[in-house]
C-alpha cells in the first residue's frame, strides 16, 4: 500500500459513502490517484475495505439491505472512476473473461478484479453478476479467451462455480478463482478444479505468471456427494421450507427475534442449504463452521439467542438426514458447539 492512502482519505471516502455522496467519493478516489496511489491499492484497500465495513454494519443490523445497496452503487462509481484512469493495454498479455457464477450477486468484486487485470496488462471482458455456466460456455466457444477469472463471495456460488470450471476446462481455458467464499487457502478452489486461487486482486500478477497454458483434468466428485448435491439442487425449496419450520419450532416463543419476518427466515434457511451444498462440492467442512459463525453474529444482532445459528444447522440436519447420504454426518461433525 502506498502512503497516498491516508487515514484522512479513508475517513473522507467512508463519510461520502455514508451520506450516499457519489461525487465526493469519486473525488476522493481521483485525488488519491493523482497523488500517486496504486490503482489496485485504491480498489482493494479503500473501496473494497469500506464495502466490507458496510456489509458488517448490515450484519450487525446497523443498516438495511437497501442502504447497503446504496453504498454499493457509490462503490461502483468509485471503481468506474479508477477504471477510467487505467489505460487499455496496447499489447495485452491475453484476454480474460471475468464473471460471477450463478447465485453470486456481488458484482463489485468482479469489477475490481477486472480493473486489476487491466492494470496488469490484460484485455478484459466482464460478464457480471450471476452468470449461468451455459452463457459463459457459449462465450468461450465462440471467442478466443485465455483466462476465466471467477469471483465467489457467498457459499451458494460454489456449486455453480464448479459448472463454470467444467465449461472452461472443456474449452481448455484455465480458471483463476477468488473471493471470500473460497476461504483463506487454495483448498476449495482446487476442489472446484480451478487452475489457481488468488488470495486477493493484489496476488493476481504472481498467480497469472504461473498459470498453465491449458487446465489439467478436473478432480472427480465422489458418487455419494454427487447424489447429495443432486437432491439438494432439486429439493432446495422443500428442504429450506422444512428447515425454516423446524427452526421456528425449536426457537420457541422466547427465542424469536427480529428475524421472524417470513422472508428473512426463508432466506436464512435457504442460506444454510446452499452452504451445505458448498461444503459438499468442496469437500470442506469448514464451510459449515464459517456459515455458523456468520449466522451467529447476524442473528444475535437481531435479538436471537446465541445458540440460534446452531439450532438452524440442527434443523437442517434433521430435515435432510433421511434423504441424504453424506450431508447429515458432515453437518454433525462440522457444526460448532451452540
Q: Point out which residues bind another protein (CB under 8 A).
A: 20, 65-67, 69-70, 72-73, 76, 102-103, 105, 107, 129-130, 132, 134-135, 140-144, 170-172, 213-214, 233-234, 236-237
**Residue nearer to another protein on the CB measure, 240 or 282:** 240
CB of 38 vs another protein, minimal distance in Å: 27
Residue 3, sorted as left (phi over 0), alpha (psi -120 to 50) or beta, turns out to be alpha
CB of 1 vs another protein, minimal distance in Å: 29
Q: Which three cell numbers stand for residue 54?
A: 458496510
Distance CA 50, CA 57 (A): 11
The label of the residue with cell 479508477 reads: 82
Integer CA distances (angstroms), 305 to 259, 269, 278, in order: 12, 17, 26
**Residue nearer to another protein on the CB measure, 102 or 314:** 102
Q: Which three cell numbers stand for residue 226?
A: 454427487
CB of 158 vs another protein, minimal distance in Å: 15
**Residue nearer to another protein on the CB measure, 207 or 250:** 207
Distance CA 275, CA 229 (A): 11
Q: Rounded to 10 degrees, what is the CA torsion of 260, 65, 98, 293? A: -50
CB of 202 vs another protein, minimal distance in Å: 27
CB of 142 vs another protein, minimal distance in Å: 5
Distance CA 210, CA 220 (A): 24
**Residue nearer to another protein on the CB measure, 107 or 331:** 107
**Residue nearer to another protein on the CB measure, 76 or 283:** 76
Amino acid at each position: 500500500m502506498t502512503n497516498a492512502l491516508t487515514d484522512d482519505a479513508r475517513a473522507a471516502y467512508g463519510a461520502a459513502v455514508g451520506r450516499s455522496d457519489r461525487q465526493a467519493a469519486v473525488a476522493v478516489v481521483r485525488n488519491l490517484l493523482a497523488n500517486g496511489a496504486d490503482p489496485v491499492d485504491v480498489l482493494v484497500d479503500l473501496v473494497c475495505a469500506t464495502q466490507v465495513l458496510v456489509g458488517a454494519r448490515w450484519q450487525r443490523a446497523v443498516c438495511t439491505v437497501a442502504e447497503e445497496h446504496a453504498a454499493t452503487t457509490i462503490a461502483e462509481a468509485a471503481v468506474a472512476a479508477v477504471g477510467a484512469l487505467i489505460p487499455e493495454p496496447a499489447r495485452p498479455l491475453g484476454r480474460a473473461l471475468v464473471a460471477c457464477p450463478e447465485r453470486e450477486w456481488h458484482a463489485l468484486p468482479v469489477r475490481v478484479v477486472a480493473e486489476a487485470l487491466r492494470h496488469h496488462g490484460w484485455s478484459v471482458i466482464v460478464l457480471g453478476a450471476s452468470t449461468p455456466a451455459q452463457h459463459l460456455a457459449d462465450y468461450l466457444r465462440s471467442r478466443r479467451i485465455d483466462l476465466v477469472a471467477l469471483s465467489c463471495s457467498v457459499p451458494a456460488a460454489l456449486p455453480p462455480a464448479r459448472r463454470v470450471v467444467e465449461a472452461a476446462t472443456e474449452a481448455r481455458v484455465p480458471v483463476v478463482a477468488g473471493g471470500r467464499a473460497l476461504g483463506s487457502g487454495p483448498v476449495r478452489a482446487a476442489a472446484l478444479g480451478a487452475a489457481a486461487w488468488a488470495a486477493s486482486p493484489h496476488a493476481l500478477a504472481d498467480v497469472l505468471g504461473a498459470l498453465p497454458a491449458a487446465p489439467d483434468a478436473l478432480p472427480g466428485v465422489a458418487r455419494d456427494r454427487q447424489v447429495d448435491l443432486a437432491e439438494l439442487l432439486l429439493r432446495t425449496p422443500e428442504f429450506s421450507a422444512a428447515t425454516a419450520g423446524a427452526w421456528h419450532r425449536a426457537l420457541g416463543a422466547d427465542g424469536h427475534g427480529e428475524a421472524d419476518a417470513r422472508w428473512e427466515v426463508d432466506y436464512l434457511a435457504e442460506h444454510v442449504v446452499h452452504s451445505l451444498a458448498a461444503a459438499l462440492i468442496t469437500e470442506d467442512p469448514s464451510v459449515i463452521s464459517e456459515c455458523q459463525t456468520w449466522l451467529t453474529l447476524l442473528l444475535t444482532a437481531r435479538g436471537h439467542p446465541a445458540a440460534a445459528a446452531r439450532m438452524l444447522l440442527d434443523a437442517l440436519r434433521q430435515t435432510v438426514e433421511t434423504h441424504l447420504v453424506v450431508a447429515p454426518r458432515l453437518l454433525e461433525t462440522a457444526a460448532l458447539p451452540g
